[in-house]
Structure 1
């Protein structure tokens, strides 16, 4: 028998497949017991309050009709926000051009830089670093590129820049 998160994921996927909603996608569902469910959605074009409200009403109708969570439950539908890590390939593509902080498997320091490229296998960050160039007295600022395979990304956050 499917879990509540699987049932909700199926409903959301079908809802987003409808005409006009193809840019929206499910990021994550958290079921916290005590009948509290958090649904995080994103969009290639950005999520607005109306997107969240419409999905919430759709899910509430199904939850109540099927009695999945009983009479008392809490359902929160929102976008992930900048404090939550990127999880899906589509989120990386959406954030090309933004600054990221990436925790890499097996390394102690975070990679930080501008997300320049996203492929099926990896991301590319660019950043500036002072480097000693042979024949010169001072270190010079050089544009660097770092390719990071998805399987090595432990956590990636969009950095807020002002």
Structure 2
């Protein structure tokens, strides 16, 4: 039964989140924050942590050792699992206000609830909306920068656009 699928338990994810936040407080880097915890049925426990100034491999390793030790000590997960702690990849959707704040000035690709896609430079955000500068091109005319307000509840996914210019 060593390789039996793990039954995903929200209490495990909640406990892991608590452990990560304990370690972040201990590291004394208030700019670090937990992005997500995901226990997959294949036994992979993925923890994504970010920081306003980024996160290094050293901090990821500290969090991994601490969480792994505590999970074993408390016998939280009864079967074999693989623990992975990293920063969110550049292609990982933004999910928290702190991630948006960190990316002010960058270009975002935004999927809307109605299925449309928008793209623009993030200029700011409030609790309810994003302020985005979109380049609107009308037929036969030069693109024009338009400041748009996009309500967060209308967004299904937001990713940072990578530019190699």
Post-superposition Cα deviations, 1:7-51, rounded to whole Å, max 9, x if no partner, equal 111111222233622111111111112432100111111111111
Please state how far the C-alpha of 1:127 moved relative to its aligned partner.
2.3
**What is aligned with 1:115?**
122
Q: Is the CA contact (8 Å cut-off) linking 2:24 and 2:63 kept in structure 1?
A: no
2:43 to 35, 59, 78: 35
Larger radius of gyration: 1
TM-score, normalised via structure 2 length: 0.86
**What is aligned with 1:135?**
none
Moved over 6 A (4+): none
Partners of 1:21 and 1:66 lie apart in 2 by 26
- Higher mean alpha-carbon deviation, 83-92 vs 66-75, is at 66-75
Question: Which segments of 5 or more consecutive residues in structure 1 lack a partner in the other structure?
Answer: 133-137
Structure 2 residue 28 is matched with structure 1 residue 20: yes
Partners of 2:58 and 2:92 lie apart in 1 by 21
**What is aligned with 1:129?**
136
TM-score, normalised via structure 1 length: 0.88
1:151 to 150, 153, 157: 153
Please state how far the C-alpha of 1:56 moved relative to its aligned partner.
0.2
Q: Is the CA contact (8 Å cut-off) linking 1:122 and 1:147 kept in structure 2?
A: yes
Structure 2 residue 111 is matched with structure 1 residue 103: yes
Please state how far the C-alpha of 1:129 moved relative to its aligned partner.
2.3
- Higher mean alpha-carbon deviation, 59-68 vs 69-78, is at 69-78
Q: How many residues align?
A: 156
Post-superposition Cα deviations, 1:49-102, rounded to whole Å, max 9, x if no partner, equal 111111000101101111112463200001111111000010000000111000
